[in-house]
Amino acid sequence: MTRYARVIGTGGYLPDEIRTNEQISQTVDTSDSWIIERTGIKSRRIAGPDETASSMAEIAARQAIEAAGCDPEQIDLIIVATGTPDRVYPSTGCLLQQRLGIKDCVSFDVQAACSGSIFALNIADQYIKSGAAKTILVVGTEICSRIVDWTDRGTCILFGDGAGAVLLGLSEETGILSTHIHSDGEYEDLLYCPNPQAASESNKHESAFISMRGNEVFKVAVNTLGRIVDETLEANNMDKEAIDWLVPHQANIRIIAATAKKLKMSMDQVVVTLENQGNTSSASVLLAFNEAIRDGRIQRGQVVLLEAFGAGFTWGSALIKY
């Protein structure tokens, strides 16, 4: 039997509060037109005071489980991608497991910044193909708004909160065709978020907010994502024309457009959600994937390329026959 990890359900959650560019421009030196021109973002969602990464993950996960018509007790493994966990430990995966009431299950977190959900899909794919698991819940969930300095216009305009989920099941039908993940710590200082509580004496006074050198990150991201596209196509002996949909990490419309150009794809074939969601880090790819499935754009049998780039740097792709 050929074993495939096949998508059997998806889900997503966005908090109720909407924070617009106009609202941000009242507290920092920026404007709606400036933000849209440079990022493509008009608004983003902000988690409520009582919401957490695990509470948002639960809502997205329950949607995915319901869409699959699956008994939660069938889930063998939960992998949560997050850079904003409820606690240092236990993992957000364990907290989600408890929320879902699943007893006989393994759960853990993956931290690969904005590429987290791709890394989680890579791990889940290996578990299913090896026979170590049959049903796996993958969730990306982030409360970026709590690690953003809202006086720093270079970062506060970019990020939002949310959770996306996908349920994978063992199948003889084609599912995940391949996954590809990479990292390079050489660029650690271009995009990072300090942890003052665990820092050394020399940098323990750093503020616990995202720090980013935007122009440098942009250049590396565009070049790196171009290479991951080539790697993915070559690994599957596939032409660009065989891809029906591109579901990219929702960081910047210019990066997304550059990747679409690399694939010679019309933007009509690209799932874009950042206009009203911003960058939800590890949640963004799964949120976009879920949205395009639920509104009917992505249909069964179509080939979908998911890709992401994040701090580390980390980057990766997942090619899926949905």
Residues with catalytic function = 114, 249, 279
DSSP one-letter code for 88: S
Distant-in-sequence, close-in-space partners of 33: CB < 8 Å, separation ≥ 6: none
Distant-in-sequence, close-in-space partners of 23: CB < 8 Å, separation ≥ 6: none
Q: Mind spelling out the 3-state secondary structure of 21-37? A: HHHHHCCCCCCHHHHHH
- Structure tokens of 184? 């390079």
Distance of CA 270 to the CA centre of its chain: 16
* Cβ atoms within 10 Å, residue 151: 10
CA–CA separation, 42 and 307 (whole Å)? 22
Half-sphere exposure of 144 (CA within 13 A, CB side): 28
- SS3 state at 70: coil
Distant-in-sequence, close-in-space partners of 177: CB < 8 Å, separation ≥ 6: 236, 303, 319, 320, 321
- Structure tokens of 147? 């690690």
- Could you give the C-alpha distances from 85 to 55, 57, 154, 274, in angstroms and in order? 11, 11, 23, 22
CA–CA separation, 113 and 140 (whole Å)? 10
